[in-house]
Amino acid sequence: MNVQLFTTPSTYEYLFFYIYIFILGTCLGSFFLLLGQRIPRGEDIVKKRSHCENCNHALAFWELIPLFSYILLKGKCRNCHEKIGFVYIGFECLSGILFTSTAFLLKTTNETLVAWTLLSLLLIITVTDITAQKIPNKILLPFCILAIIERFAVQQLNPWWFAPAGFAVGFGVLLLLALLSKGGMAGGDIKLFAVLGIVLGPIYIMITLVLASILALVYSIGELIIKKKLRKHIPFGPFIAIGSWLVYCYATGQFNDAFLLFFGSKI
């Protein structure tokens, strides 16, 4: 007689699973904020307790739980009542939403693991590039190793050599641009493109470059119109992050699936 250990999960069980992923995603977002702020400054990640930036009050364990603590504390520090920036809670929620939507659209496939790795890298470098204008090797190197392992052992690209080819194209083209623009491209951007190339392959990494450049250009023009001033250096990292995530979602069919879900037909 066949004994069925696991039956197909019910809608409620799925709902529970996605709520769990969302909470996990917000906690990861909170951790990425900490990593992104501390690594460029060379601060210790483990030893130093999380604290209020204003009064240095060390946060209790429950104050570290994103969203929950924000609502409970009404967005203020428990000690000095200084307002906690909305950007923090926004970043944590965005992180939760992205982790959940990817899990929902890719289902529990091997690619979900690659997607979450990519998402983690992009969220961290967005923080480091905005706060410190840096994409540190300490972050790029572990993600580079992870990307190689995942693209060879977890979910290969089709054909498999698209991963090393993507690395070469990402690194090569950005290096060429850096040489041509005489330092207009930072070293961190070049290495980031090499890592993204492993995940995306040679074709999608080129599309990412074009899309990220267009986004940065549109942003610069917008800033010029509003502030009537052109900044000398705009961090490219956040645009690479948005561009590569959009390209990745397109490449893995997530847009199609989302469209199908909401409108009942493919794009």
Positions touching Zn ion (CB under 5 A) are 52, 54-55, 57, 77, 79-80, 82
Q: State the nearest-atom distance from the C-beta of 82 to Zn ion, in Å.
A: 5
Whole-angstrom distance, CA of residue 177 vs CA of residue 76: 45
Q: Which residue number, 58 or 218, has a Cβ lying nearer to Zn ion?
A: 58
Q: Which residue number, 9 or 85, has a Cβ lying nearer to Zn ion?
A: 85
Q: Which residue number, 55 or 179, has a Cβ lying nearer to Zn ion?
A: 55
Q: Which residue number, 54 or 110, has a Cβ lying nearer to Zn ion?
A: 54
Beta bridge partners of 58: 51
Q: State the nearest-atom distance from the C-beta of 52 to Zn ion, in Å.
A: 3
Q: Which two tokens stand for residue 86?
A: 């909305």
The answer to whether 199 touches 166, Cβ cutoff 8 Å, is: yes
Q: Which two tokens stand for residue 27?
A: 């906690």
Whole-angstrom distance, CA of residue 232 vs CA of residue 192: 21
Q: State the nearest-atom distance from the C-beta of 61 to Zn ion, in Å.
A: 17
Longest dimension (CA), the chain: 76
Q: State the nearest-atom distance from the C-beta of 30 to Zn ion, in Å.
A: 17
DSSP letter string over 152-209? III---SSTTHHHHHHHHHHHHHHHHHHHTTS-S-HHHHHHHHHHHHHHHHHHHHHHH
Q: Which residue number, 81 or 231, has a Cβ lying nearer to Zn ion?
A: 81
Q: State the nearest-atom distance from the C-beta of 51 to Zn ion, in Å.
A: 8
The SS3 assignment for 58 reads strand
Q: Which residue number, 85 or 222, has a Cβ lying nearer to Zn ion?
A: 85
Q: Which residue number, 84 or 94, has a Cβ lying nearer to Zn ion?
A: 84
Q: State the nearest-atom distance from the C-beta of 55 to Zn ion, in Å.
A: 3
Bin 81: left if φ > 0, else alpha if -120 < ψ < 50, else beta. left
For 47-72, letters b (16+ CB in 10 Å) and e give eeeeebeeeeeeeeeebeebbebbee
Determine phi and psi for 83, rounding to 5 degrees. Answer: -65, 135
Q: State the nearest-atom distance from the C-beta of 44 to Zn ion, in Å.
A: 21
Token match 């289902």: residue? 107
